[in-house]
């Protein structure tokens, strides 16, 4: 259905091709999963199928890509629209209409489908994706996950023969992701739809794939095979595969169910362990974590050859000590001497309209805001206190009677369904959303009543859409501005970018970065300022497992220094690895609040893979299992 013939892509000004040597066929009626490290060229490959590369991105495409016999270089994306439906990484950039229902109908309208068919399919899709209650809502007022569902719905309604999806579940809560994947699988099985989908969270998707296409490293030729074949050699793989490699299982498990069936001997070995190791103790295996555990050498099935995965050690952060439990370190000591953060973000990151003017404009001004003299001493007050806060946004009661205290050194994962109010809560903490009732104090100030320069060292937010934080023309200029605003030594921000992701070029426009590269830059900008309270809204989109491990290490280092961290995330593996405490929101209210291990295992939706495999034993991550085995089997 999709044929690549000796395809390569070079972007303008790039020193090397972003894609090279792609020569393969994606069969009709199958779900092919595209995997590989951040920035390796997955979106570029998808773009050659939908026609966005090179028509909209520039650059040079060599070779030939055909979809249902049509050459994507000679056909503009709109000339492929009856065959290919595309969901990109940034849904907001692709919406054509303002209201949910209209967006679902738009693709069918442009194909001239009869009104009765359109009506029926809109209703079906609203039900299928749980969008009925939102049908007449302006898209701009939806939460990130709600927008992603609309984007998926809008490509499903025209029933295209080929679906090209770039991280389609990255903003979805775990249950919604499962529903979307089930819908896709049904399309593949019942209608013979061909699905080509890039994803980083393999724990969510690998079991649905018929075939996996791996881009192992930048410029390397892709390999394609069954999920089991590819997972045995892939530098990116889900926790169950890491666990299988650690335990020496063959064949490797791809799902929790597979792994449970093989888990008995591992459980027996673990029973000799002295007890659960402190999850937050220093990493016994620097590379060990969720996806990239301390793997034994990967087995290579016949015919699959891979270069060594390029995972350089993070230069500046190897020696960061692990955080003690937050109670053990109550004083916000280490940031007393640290200058202010530039990275105060002003946009309501729940998909709401920017606070003022063009997107990013206010953030630009605020990022330029120097700390006022009275903010010079480090705040001694609690990083954040939220007391009986209620927020109404238009017709929606986004938060209801929320009370929450964030202690220095504490890392909290905010979880809960799409639209539960997570981004809204983060927005009240930076002051871009004003509580309807109740009080918020951050470092002793009321965020929405305090001038940004006074807030910048108290709080910094990496928004759900990292683009909102970026305004300079190059990565180097962004980083230089961040260093200067934070009075940090030149090179601080740039080192952070490289510590998170290797190979991010200096002179590229941030607009042209891959999703993961852009997030790494946004994280680095905010981390450079070392705010007392660090807020991260879905901080793993586009990041591969190795980058997540490095992010976890950096965040643990900050927490050990007394910084408080609140992350809103659907990434249950990240929460298990990083958070001391999990707070679950539902319908704007707190429905669970407690230590991570207790909260996540109490609901299958929030439990990480290792917990599901080894339940009722208490392990949550591959790292813990590795440490426990070391302890149990030490001579």
Ligand X SMILES: Nc1ncnc2c1ncn2[C@@H]1O[C@H](COP(=O)(O)OP(=O)(O)OP(=O)(O)O)[C@@H](O)[C@H]1O
Determine if 40 is a binding residue for ligand X (CB under 6 A): yes
Query: Given the complex with ligand X, which of 41 and 130 has the nearer CB atom?
Result: 41
Which residues contact residue 20 at a Cβ distance below 8 angstroms, ignoring those fewer than 6 apart?
Answer: 8, 219, 220, 221
Residue 44 CB, nearest distance to ligand X (Å)? 3
Which residues contact residue 23 at a Cβ distance below 8 angstroms, ignoring those fewer than 6 apart?
Answer: 4, 5, 6, 7, 63, 221
- Stretch of 178-186, 305-313, 325-333, 392-400 lying at the interface with ligand X (CB under 6 A): 392-400
Residue 145 CB, nearest distance to ligand X (Å)? 3
DSSP annotation of 207 reads G
Determine which residue in the list 1, 8, 20, 43 makes contact with ligand X, applying CB under 6 A. Answer: 43
Which residues contact residue 319 at a Cβ distance below 8 angstroms, ignoring those fewer than 6 apart?
Answer: none
Query: Given the complex with ligand X, which of 354 and 604 has the nearer CB atom?
Result: 354
Determine if 400 is a binding residue for ligand X (CB under 6 A): no
Determine if 517 is a binding residue for ligand X (CB under 6 A): yes
> Site size for ligand X, by CB under 6 A?
44
Residue 609 CB, nearest distance to ligand X (Å)? 21
CA distance 410 to 375: 22
Please choose, from the candidates 595, 570, 608, 526, the residue with its C-alpha nearest in 3D space to the C-alpha of residue 242: 608
Residue 517 CB, nearest distance to ligand X (Å)? 5
Query: Given the complex with ligand X, which of 145 and 447 has the nearer CB atom?
Result: 145
**Which residues from 74-133 bind ligand X, rule CB under 6 A?**
none
Residue 275 CB, nearest distance to ligand X (Å)? 35
Query: Given the complex with ligand X, which of 294 and 542 has the nearer CB atom?
Result: 542
The Cβ of residue 357 has, within 10 Å, a number of other Cβ atoms equal to 10
What are the phi and psi torsion angles at 19 (to 5°)? Answer: -145, 140
Residue 147 CB, nearest distance to ligand X (Å)? 8
Q: How big is the CA angle at 203 (ends 1 and 197), to the nearest 5 degrees? A: 20
- Is 174 in contact with 570 (CB distance < 8 Å)? yes
Residue 426 CB, nearest distance to ligand X (Å)? 8
Determine if 508 is a binding residue for ligand X (CB under 6 A): yes
**Which residues from 304-323 bind ligand X, rule CB under 6 A?**
none
- Is 232 in contact with 214 (CB distance < 8 Å)? no
Helix (H, G, I), strand (E, B) or coil at 312: coil
Query: Given the complex with ligand X, which of 421 and 431 has the nearer CB atom?
Result: 421
Residue 521 CB, nearest distance to ligand X (Å)? 11
CA distance 425 to 413: 12
CA distance 118 to 367: 46
Residue 392 CB, nearest distance to ligand X (Å)? 9
Residue 187 CB, nearest distance to ligand X (Å)? 23
Residue 610 CB, nearest distance to ligand X (Å)? 24
Q: H helices of 113-216, where?
A: 115-128, 144-156, 174-186, 202-205
Which residues contact residue 278 at a Cβ distance below 8 angstroms, ignoring those fewer than 6 apart?
Answer: none
Residue 568 CB, nearest distance to ligand X (Å)? 6
What are the phi and psi torsion angles at 214 (to 5°)? Answer: -110, 125
Helix H or strand E encompassing 585: strand 581-586
Residue 416 CB, nearest distance to ligand X (Å)? 6
Q: How big is the CA angle at 17 (ends 16 and 23), to the nearest 5 degrees? A: 145
ω into 616 cis (within 30 of 0): yes
Query: Given the complex with ligand X, which of 41 and 453 has the nearer CB atom?
Result: 41
Determine which residue in the list 227, 291, 516, 529 makes contact with ligand X, applying CB under 6 A. Answer: 516
CA distance 1 to 162: 8
- Stretch of 92-100, 373-381, 413-421, 621-629 lying at the interface with ligand X (CB under 6 A): 413-421
Determine which residue in the list 1, 2, 20, 38 makes contact with ligand X, applying CB under 6 A. Answer: 38
Determine which residue in the list 8, 31, 35, 41 makes contact with ligand X, applying CB under 6 A. Answer: 41
- Is 475 in contact with 508 (CB distance < 8 Å)? yes
- Is 594 in contact with 579 (CB distance < 8 Å)? no
CA distance 140 to 169: 19
Determine if 394 is a binding residue for ligand X (CB under 6 A): yes
- Stretch of 69-77, 412-420, 595-603, 627-635 lying at the interface with ligand X (CB under 6 A): 412-420
Determine which residue in the list 3, 10, 14, 630 makes contact with ligand X, applying CB under 6 A. Answer: 14
Please choose, from the candidates 34, 99, 20, 25, the residue with its C-alpha nearest in 3D space to the C-alpha of residue 63: 20
Residue 149 CB, nearest distance to ligand X (Å)? 9
Task: Give me the 18-37 binding string for ligand X, x by CB under 6 A, dash otherwise.
Answer: x-----------------x-
Determine which residue in the list 21, 57, 106, 316 makes contact with ligand X, applying CB under 6 A. Answer: 57
Query: Given the complex with ligand X, which of 68 and 175 has the nearer CB atom?
Result: 175
Residue 200 CB, nearest distance to ligand X (Å)? 6
User: SS3 for 23-55, per residue?
Assistant: EEEECCCCEEEEECCCCCCHHHHHHHHHCHHHH
Determine if 467 is a binding residue for ligand X (CB under 6 A): no
Residue 377 CB, nearest distance to ligand X (Å)? 33
Determine which residue in the list 35, 39, 450, 548 makes contact with ligand X, applying CB under 6 A. Answer: 39
- Is 225 in contact with 300 (CB distance < 8 Å)? no
Determine if 379 is a binding residue for ligand X (CB under 6 A): no
Helix (H, G, I), strand (E, B) or coil at 370: coil
Query: Given the complex with ligand X, which of 375 and 432 has the nearer CB atom?
Result: 432
CA distance 224 to 22: 11
Query: Given the complex with ligand X, which of 272 and 353 has the nearer CB atom?
Result: 353
- Is 425 in contact with 433 (CB distance < 8 Å)? no
Query: Given the complex with ligand X, which of 320 and 508 has the nearer CB atom?
Result: 508
Determine which residue in the list 369, 542, 557, 608 makes contact with ligand X, applying CB under 6 A. Answer: 542
**Which residues from 338-377 bind ligand X, rule CB under 6 A?**
350-352
DSSP states of 517-545 as a string?
HHHHHHHHHHHHT--SEEEEESTTTT--H
Helix H or strand E encompassing 479: helix 475-486
**Which residues from 266-285 bind ligand X, rule CB under 6 A?**
none
**Which residues from 138-197 bind ligand X, rule CB under 6 A?**
141-146, 171, 173
**Which residues from 414-443 bind ligand X, rule CB under 6 A?**
416, 418-424
Q: Which residues bind ligand X (CB under 6 A)?
A: 11, 14, 18, 36, 38-44, 57, 141-146, 171, 173, 350-352, 393-394, 396, 398, 416, 418-424, 508, 512-517, 542, 568
């Amino acid at each position: 259905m999709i044929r690549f013939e000796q395809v390569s892509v070079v972007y303008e000004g790039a020193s090397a091709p972003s894609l090279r040597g792609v020569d393969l066929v994606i069969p009709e009626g199958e779900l092919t999963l595209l995997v590989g490290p951040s920035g390796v060229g997955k979106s570029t490959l998808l773009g050659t199928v939908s026609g966005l590369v090179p028509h909209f991105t520039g650059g040079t495409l060599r070779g030939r890509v055909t979809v249902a016999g049509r050459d994507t270089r000679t056909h503009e994306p709109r000339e492929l629209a009856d065959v290919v439906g595309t969901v990109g990484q940034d849904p907001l950039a692709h919406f054509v209409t303002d209201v949910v229902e209209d967006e679902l109908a738009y693709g069918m309208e442009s194909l001239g489908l009869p009104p009765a068919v359109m009506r029926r399919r809109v209703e079906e899709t609203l039900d299928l994706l749980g969008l009925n209650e939102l049908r007449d809502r302006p898209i701009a007022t939806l939460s990130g996950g709600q927008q992603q569902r609309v984007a998926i719905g809008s490509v499903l309604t025209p029933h295209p023969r080929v679906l090209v999806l770039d991280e389609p579940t990255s903003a979805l809560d775990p249950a919604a992701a499962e529903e979307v994947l089930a819908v896709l699988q049904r399309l593949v099985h019942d209608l013979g739809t061909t699905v080509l989908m890039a994803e980083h969270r393999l724990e969510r998707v690998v079991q649905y794939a018929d075939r996996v296409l791996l881009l192992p490293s930048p410029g390397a030729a892709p390999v394609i095979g069954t999920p089991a074949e590819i997972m045995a050699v892939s530098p990116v793989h889900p926790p169950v595969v890491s666990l299988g490699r650690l335990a020496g299982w063959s064949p490797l498990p791809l799902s929790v169910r597979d792994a449970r069936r093989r888990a008995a001997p591992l459980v027996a070995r673990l029973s000799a362990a002295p007890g659960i190791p402190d999850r937050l103790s220093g990493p016994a295996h620097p590379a060990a974590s969720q996806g990239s555990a301390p793997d034994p050498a990967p087995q290579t099935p016949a015919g699959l050859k891979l270069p060594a995965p390029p995972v350089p050690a993070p230069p500046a952060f190897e020696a960061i000590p692990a955080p003690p439990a937050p109670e053990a370190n109550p004083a916000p000591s280490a940031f007393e001497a640290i200058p202010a953060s530039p990275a105060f973000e002003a946009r309501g990151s729940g998909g709401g309209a920017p606070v003022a003017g063009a997107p990013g404009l206010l953030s630009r001004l605020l990022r330029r805001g120097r700390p006022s003299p009275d903010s010079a001493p480090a705040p001694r007050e609690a990083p954040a206190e939220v007391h009986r806060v209620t927020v109404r946004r238009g017709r929606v009661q986004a938060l209801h009677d929320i009370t929450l205290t964030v202690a220095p050194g504490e890392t909290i994962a905010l979880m809960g369904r799409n639209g539960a109010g997570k981004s809204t809560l983060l927005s009240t903490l930076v002051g871009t959303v004003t509580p309807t009732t109740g009080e918020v104090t951050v470092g002793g100030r009321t965020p929405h009543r305090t001038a940004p320069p006074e807030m910048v060292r108290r709080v910094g937010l990496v928004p759900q859409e990292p683009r909102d934080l970026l305004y300079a023309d190059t990565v180097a200029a962004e980083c230089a501005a961040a260093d200067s605003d934070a009075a940090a030594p030149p090179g601080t921000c740039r080192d952070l970018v490289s510590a998170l992701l290797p190979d991010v070029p200096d002179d590229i426009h941030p607009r042209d970065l891959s999703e993961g590269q852009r997030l790494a830059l946004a994280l680095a900008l905010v981390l450079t300022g070392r705010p007392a309270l660090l807020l991260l809204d879905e901080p793993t989109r586009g990041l591969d497992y190795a980058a997540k491990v490095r992010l976890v290490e950096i965040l643990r280092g900050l927490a050990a220094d007394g910084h408080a961290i609140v992350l809103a995330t659907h990434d249950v593996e990240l929460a298990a690895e990083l958070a001391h405490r999990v707070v679950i929101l539902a319908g704007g209210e707190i429905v669970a609040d407690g230590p991570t291990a207790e909260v996540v295992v109490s609901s299958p939706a929030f439990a990480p893979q290792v917990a599901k495999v080894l339940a009722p034993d208490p392990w949550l991550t591959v790292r813990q299992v590795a440490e426990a085995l070391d302890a149990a089997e030490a001579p």
